[in-house]
Structure 1
Amino acid sequence: MVHEQAARAGDASPRLEGRAGAAWITRLAAPLGGAGSGPLAGLRFAAKDNIDVAGVPTTAACPAFARTPAAHAHVVQRLLDAGAALLGKTNLDQFACGLNGTRSPYGAVPNSFDPRYVSGGSSSGSAYVVATAQADFALGTDTAGSGRVPAGLNNIVGIKPSRGLLSARGVVPAAQSVDCVSIFARTVAVAARVLHAAMDCDPEDPYGRSLAMETRPLAAGFRFGVPSTLNFFGDAPSQAAFDSAIAQLCALGGEPIEIDYAPLAQAAALLYDSALVAERYAAVREFFDAHEAEVVEPVRGILAKGRDYSAADFVEARTKLLALGQRAAAMWNDIDVLLVPTAPAHYTIEAMQADPVALNRNLGEYTNFVNLLDYAAISVPASLRSDGLPFGITLIGRAGSDFQLAELGQRFHHATGLPLGATREPLPPMQALPLIAAAPTVQVAVVGAHLSGMPLNGQLTERSARLVSATHTAPDYRLYALPGTVPPKPGLLRVAAGEGTAIEVEIWEMPLAHYGSFVALIPAPLGIGSLALADGRSVQGFLCEPLALAGAEDISSLGGWRAYIASRSAAAT
């Protein structure tokens, strides 16, 4: 297999400039093609360089560790068999030990929006090449947040699957009992397709398992947990962005519930401040004991610390973790999903290198506990902050909720209207996700105060309704402004052929389960009936009782309610 390997960050590719070249460690001279057809045909991907690709050195960002495997990692083979093509290997924090993307002898990977800032890690290169559209998706790994923090800091999606859902055979372990292969993409739909194609209970992975997957989307009125204590480390733009994300999730029908964050925070602290860190040392013990000087700081210090603990210390720490997991499990009695900031702050590369331990720990404030407590998670873009840097949220659920989280994550992401990654491309239409059962729906035509942007539109969105199209009725209707209604509302009346006109409407689709509660909100003289559209279809829609229109202003000539509201505003000025 032909490949080219960048020795340092300065070896930038023709498509990258300056420090951004550090995103790649090995880029193949030609893509490694997969199967000729399959669910991922036409997609190109990259793999973090702690994941084996046959014939290509696996360095784990440590040149002295480099070895050339004879076989692909199981997950890489699954993706090739599904039709995807592999572009190469990406940079990472050495031995996947870090959350910032600066701990690599191949160079610090910059943020895709501003090269002065960190990309997040340890899957830094994978996030960068996806955000900049060099790859359609990429594999990372996630032990303490490495598949989520880079997603949040680069305006892309990061799926951290349930433990064991994707095989870790052929992956250099970080802490093998909690490691996960993660997925980066610019949309939830692509990430979910990749997850579905890569899923496999691998009998040769000691931590592989078969899970019962939750296939039902969360219903309107879902409850989402918000930590009782939140720390943004003085980063006001991130705090404001998270407040806005809470409001957005409420607009999608969610109800915020405060949860006790203490057991989650205590579990997170165990990852590095207890004998659990011995598992990181054990992962590379033979190499580390022989080549300690070849490991960069602060990775060297973290791994060396693992030698200081006894087996009894490790058992004690595991028991404490299980006890904290029992305490934390109580929150699922009150919530359906947990919401946290993906990363609470942005840091410059310069600041990170000046204080690498403390600032790295801050980036993991809301990530470290997830794998330890056996949860699934997805990071999705939420907004661009006031300074133009991305902000992401993470939705967390119980093991097996991966596609349920993806369904909610897709709805949230598309409601933001953000561009794709660091490009200026708009989000494509939402797509049906694998394994998620399609709930029965009903389409309803709205004509007045329920139009998007109008005062009662929230009655639709809080029932998980989505806008299908803007169109017109058949030319058989008259529109009236009803007097004395709050907020102002129109009345739509069907009339005899030749006496009406086409009226602007929006078609919204909502789960059938929520339709009854929506109709119950409609006050007389309005009601729901069969509405004829300009294309000949009939849908449910708002109509008005004829007797209620006595004395009402006929506004049919304006063609719709928006034009009428605009005319009133113009008259008022």
Structure 2
Amino acid sequence: MLPTILDLVTLRSAYANGLSPLELIEEIITRRSSSNDPAIFITMTPEEELRAAARELVARAPEPNSLPLWGIPFAVKDNIDVAGLPTTAACPAFAYHPQADATTVARLRAAGAIVIGKTNLDQFATGLNGTRSPHGAPRSVFDRNYVSGGSSSGSAVAVAAGLASFSLGTDTAGSGRVPAAFNNLVGVKPTPGLVPNVGVVPACRSVDVVTVFATTVGDGVAIRRIMEGYDARDPFSRQAVPASLPSTRPRIGVLDGAEREFYGNRDVEALYDAAIERARSLGAVIVPFDYAPFRQAAELLYNGPWVAERLAAVKEFLATNGGDFDPTVRAIIEGAKAYDAVDAFEGRYKLEALRQKTRAEWAKVDFLMLPTSPTSYSVGEMQADPIVKNSHFGRYTNFANLLDCAAIAIPAGFDADGHLPAGVMLVGPAFTDDALAPFADALHRAAEAGMGKDRNIALPEASRVLPPADDFVPIVVVGAHLTDMPLNHELTRTGGYRLRTGRTDGSYRLFALNGTIPPKPGLVRDPGFAGDGVEIEVWALPPAAFARFVQSIPAPLGVGKITLDDASCITGFLCEAHAVADGREITEFGGWRNYVRQSAQMA
């Protein structure tokens, strides 16, 4: 039986163990029909067409997992063309039947993925909340009273609810990130121009981006890489030159002072602060920065002439079908009539002046970490004040495309009642898309918030995103070098950062060594022992620092290969067996941290 969350690792494993694409499609059909949210899809791929797609895949590529996305089900926001299904942009009168897939969809299908349907959205991708559709408002998978985020509302809910492995959204102001935060997902927003927009109904053509909703950063990045690449048919498509970021000790910009605005939501503020501390524990240098020029740039997207681009996208249709628009969407788009060509140039001048101001802030940091959304609202609250409440969601997202940034949104945990999730996002300069991923993945794993609707599930080890192999050397620590322990500074001061926590396999025993300052444990492998494993952390060190660190380890400690409970083998601290003969065995405590804590309580 398949779990709720259909991440790539889980499905590939199931396929390798005998599951067929047709069997998966039958499961998807069952899940779609039993969903308690009727507003997720606008058009579902008919059941027989889904079955035919599974059979065609096996005929084309018989071997399981022989294509990068072999048999992987995905959903598509209904402003992105899928041949055979109508494109409506959540406006039935606007609907048309495309003869070809959007470039992104074509590339994903060629890689073996199967489209399960077109998802609901804020009409014409105008909104960040998900309530502006004649097909209803998709709801947060955690509370049906709350919005799912938009405009890519249905796409996010489809993944979080386990109806698809991933989905496509679009992001002009934050629509590929806010729904991720509200549904405990990862949202990958590429640098503008990295992924082609051919076959996408534009919102603001010059800053639109096709995005990915996934359950892990590793999945999202892998899917983005399949979609990306220059397409001359898109006038805004670009030849990407990947930019690098430090893989150790990155300088992360965080909000400070008056720029910290959460609209009274102390839970989200607390989760943001907790994410900052997790980033610090992973080796980041935390740098307060001035968000003001970024915020002022963000305000231009809806309170400046860029709103005229929304009118340009639907001008002729609005002239003949104004009554078919959602009232709020129509009011926003018609607001563009207040701007003229002079305003457009003046808006561009203001943006460039703000871009210059942001350069001073970028000089202080490698990338930013911001709340994905500072708060959330119920559907009733949003509908009662749709413009103002919607603008709150975009406070930290609206600038990213205007300022040519890459971004990855990740879960940050749940509020104090365990009720609603929140998220943070890493934002970097143009084409840092791959460079942001390792830290984003590490931060997601450190949050221990699960994936989508399943908040207790562990992220698969096989989807982990690591820095380039020549940039670091992993080492397992078990005692005084653990996070917040007395010797942890020996790792952090050399540029090391924590990759993950974990446990050894059951063949290891832990002893408290006598006469060590500060106190240290000794880890010994006993092939005949069958325990529950010992708590460890895996840290990454620059190669030169690793060499110096290993040379400085005092006897009877040393390094060797340690087998973890996921069967991986990593170099780490071990102890000579003779040294534990007179030491106290503490294996029963599960790890050094728990032993130290309980010893302090008994003292």
TM-score category of the 2 structures, normalised to the smaller one: 0.7 to 0.9
- In structure 2, relative to structure 1, the CA distance for the partners of 1:569 and 1:339 (3 Å cut) is same
* Alignment partner of 1:464 is 2:493: no
Q: Which residue of 2 aligns with 1:154?
A: 183
- In structure 2, relative to structure 1, the CA distance for the partners of 1:282 and 1:337 (3 Å cut) is same
DSSP-derived class of the 2:558 partner: strand
* Alignment partner of 1:437 is 2:468: yes
Please report how far the alpha carbon of residue 481 of structure 1 lies from its aligned counterpart in structure 2 after TM superposition. Answer: 3.0
Map 1:44-59; keep pairs closer than 5 Å. Answer: 44-59=73-88
52-61 vs 419-428, greater mean Cα deviation = 419-428
* Counterpart residue type for residue 222 of structure 1: P
DSSP-derived class of the 1:116 partner: strand
* Alignment partner of 1:407 is 2:441: no
* Counterpart residue type for residue 271 of structure 1: L
Please report how far the alpha carbon of residue 170 of structure 1 lies from its aligned counterpart in structure 2 after TM superposition. Answer: 0.7
DSSP-derived class of the 2:310 partner: helix
* Alignment partner of 1:102 is 2:106: no
Matches of 2:367 and 2:213 in 1, distance apart?
21
- In structure 2, relative to structure 1, the CA distance for the partners of 1:506 and 1:359 (3 Å cut) is closer
Q: Which residue of 2 aligns with 1:259?
A: 289
* Alignment partner of 1:15 is 2:34: yes
* Counterpart residue type for residue 485 of structure 1: I
Q: Which residue of 2 aligns with 1:417?
A: 448
- In structure 2, relative to structure 1, the CA distance for the partners of 1:436 and 1:249 (3 Å cut) is closer
Map 1:329-408; keep pairs closer than 5 Å. Answer: 329-387=359-417, 388-408=419-439
Whether the aligned pair in 2 keeps the contact of 1:142 and 1:160 (CA below 8 Å) is yes
* Counterpart residue type for residue 283 of structure 1: A
* Alignment partner of 1:280 is 2:299: no
- In structure 2, relative to structure 1, the CA distance for the partners of 1:539 and 1:130 (3 Å cut) is closer
- In structure 2, relative to structure 1, the CA distance for the partners of 1:561 and 1:456 (3 Å cut) is farther
Please report how far the alpha carbon of residue 430 of structure 1 lies from its aligned counterpart in structure 2 after TM superposition. Answer: 3.4
Whether the aligned pair in 1 keeps the contact of 2:371 and 2:424 (CA below 8 Å) is yes
Matches of 2:522 and 2:283 in 1, distance apart?
27
Whether the aligned pair in 2 keeps the contact of 1:235 and 1:344 (CA below 8 Å) is yes
Map 1:510-525; keep pairs closer than 5 Å. Answer: 510-513=539-542, 516=545, 520=549
Q: CA RMSD of the aligned region, Å? A: 3.6
Please report how far the alpha carbon of residue 333 of structure 1 lies from its aligned counterpart in structure 2 after TM superposition. Answer: 1.4
* Counterpart residue type for residue 141 of structure 2: S
DSSP-derived class of the 1:52 partner: coil
* Counterpart residue type for residue 247 of structure 2: A
* Counterpart residue type for residue 16 of structure 1: S
- In structure 2, relative to structure 1, the CA distance for the partners of 1:518 and 1:355 (3 Å cut) is farther
- In structure 2, relative to structure 1, the CA distance for the partners of 1:489 and 1:119 (3 Å cut) is same
Residue 195 (structure 1) aligned to one of 216, 219, 224: 224
* Counterpart residue type for residue 393 of structure 2: L
Q: Which residue of 2 aligns with 1:4?
A: none
- In structure 2, relative to structure 1, the CA distance for the partners of 1:296 and 1:485 (3 Å cut) is same
Q: Which residue of 1 aligns with 2:3?
A: none
Please report how far the alpha carbon of residue 429 of structure 1 lies from its aligned counterpart in structure 2 after TM superposition. Answer: 2.6
DSSP-derived class of the 1:380 partner: strand
* Alignment partner of 1:448 is 2:479: yes
Q: Which residue of 2 aligns with 1:222?
A: 250
- In structure 2, relative to structure 1, the CA distance for the partners of 1:310 and 1:220 (3 Å cut) is same
- In structure 2, relative to structure 1, the CA distance for the partners of 1:502 and 1:482 (3 Å cut) is farther
CA displacement 1:227-257 (0-9 Å, x = unmatched): 2311000011111111111101111111111
Whether the aligned pair in 2 keeps the contact of 1:97 and 1:174 (CA below 8 Å) is yes
Matches of 2:235 and 2:523 in 1, distance apart?
65
- In structure 2, relative to structure 1, the CA distance for the partners of 1:484 and 1:323 (3 Å cut) is same
Matches of 2:598 and 2:343 in 1, distance apart?
74
- In structure 2, relative to structure 1, the CA distance for the partners of 1:489 and 1:52 (3 Å cut) is same
- In structure 2, relative to structure 1, the CA distance for the partners of 1:458 and 1:123 (3 Å cut) is farther
* Alignment partner of 1:39 is 2:68: yes
Residue 513 (structure 2) aligned to one of 457, 481, 491: 481
Please report how far the alpha carbon of residue 505 of structure 1 lies from its aligned counterpart in structure 2 after TM superposition. Answer: 6.0
Q: Which runs of 5+ in 2 are unaligned?
A: 1-30, 62-66
* Alignment partner of 1:245 is 2:264: no
Matches of 1:180 and 1:168 in 2, distance apart?
7
Pair member with larger Rg: 1
Matches of 1:211 and 1:300 in 2, distance apart?
36
Please report how far the alpha carbon of residue 489 of structure 1 lies from its aligned counterpart in structure 2 after TM superposition. Answer: 2.1
Matches of 2:108 and 2:572 in 1, distance apart?
44
- In structure 2, relative to structure 1, the CA distance for the partners of 1:282 and 1:569 (3 Å cut) is same
Please report how far the alpha carbon of residue 355 of structure 1 lies from its aligned counterpart in structure 2 after TM superposition. Answer: 0.4
* Counterpart residue type for residue 345 of structure 2: V
- In structure 2, relative to structure 1, the CA distance for the partners of 1:305 and 1:449 (3 Å cut) is same
Map 1:90-169; keep pairs closer than 5 Å. Answer: 90-169=119-198
Matches of 1:224 and 1:532 in 2, distance apart?
33
DSSP-derived class of the 1:219 partner: coil
Q: Which residue of 1 aligns with 2:22?
A: none
DSSP-derived class of the 1:360 partner: helix
TM-score by length of 1: 0.86
* Counterpart residue type for residue 424 of structure 2: I
Matches of 2:590 and 2:95 in 1, distance apart?
67
458-467 vs 147-156, greater mean Cα deviation = 458-467
Q: Which runs of 5+ in 1 are unaligned?
A: 1-11
- In structure 2, relative to structure 1, the CA distance for the partners of 1:287 and 1:241 (3 Å cut) is same
- In structure 2, relative to structure 1, the CA distance for the partners of 1:54 and 1:364 (3 Å cut) is same
Matches of 1:293 and 1:567 in 2, distance apart?
66
- In structure 2, relative to structure 1, the CA distance for the partners of 1:252 and 1:492 (3 Å cut) is closer
* Counterpart residue type for residue 402 of structure 1: D
Number of residues of Structure 1 aligned to a counterpart in Structure 2: 549
Please report how far the alpha carbon of residue 311 of structure 1 lies from its aligned counterpart in structure 2 after TM superposition. Answer: 1.2
427-436 vs 306-315, greater mean Cα deviation = 427-436
CA displacement 1:436-457 (0-9 Å, x = unmatched): 6323654545453346786656
Please report how far the alpha carbon of residue 418 of structure 1 lies from its aligned counterpart in structure 2 after TM superposition. Answer: 1.7
Matches of 2:146 and 2:188 in 1, distance apart?
23
DSSP-derived class of the 1:399 partner: coil
DSSP-derived class of the 2:498 partner: coil
TM-score by length of 2: 0.82
Please report how far the alpha carbon of residue 60 of structure 1 lies from its aligned counterpart in structure 2 after TM superposition. Answer: 0.5
DSSP-derived class of the 1:377 partner: strand
Please report how far the alpha carbon of residue 482 of structure 1 lies from its aligned counterpart in structure 2 after TM superposition. Answer: 2.7
- In structure 2, relative to structure 1, the CA distance for the partners of 1:525 and 1:437 (3 Å cut) is closer
Matches of 2:314 and 2:597 in 1, distance apart?
71
Q: Which residue of 2 aligns with 1:322?
A: 352
Higher helix share: 2
Matches of 2:351 and 2:72 in 1, distance apart?
40
- In structure 2, relative to structure 1, the CA distance for the partners of 1:479 and 1:24 (3 Å cut) is closer
- In structure 2, relative to structure 1, the CA distance for the partners of 1:491 and 1:180 (3 Å cut) is closer
DSSP-derived class of the 1:396 partner: strand
* Counterpart residue type for residue 391 of structure 1: A
Matches of 2:601 and 2:255 in 1, distance apart?
48
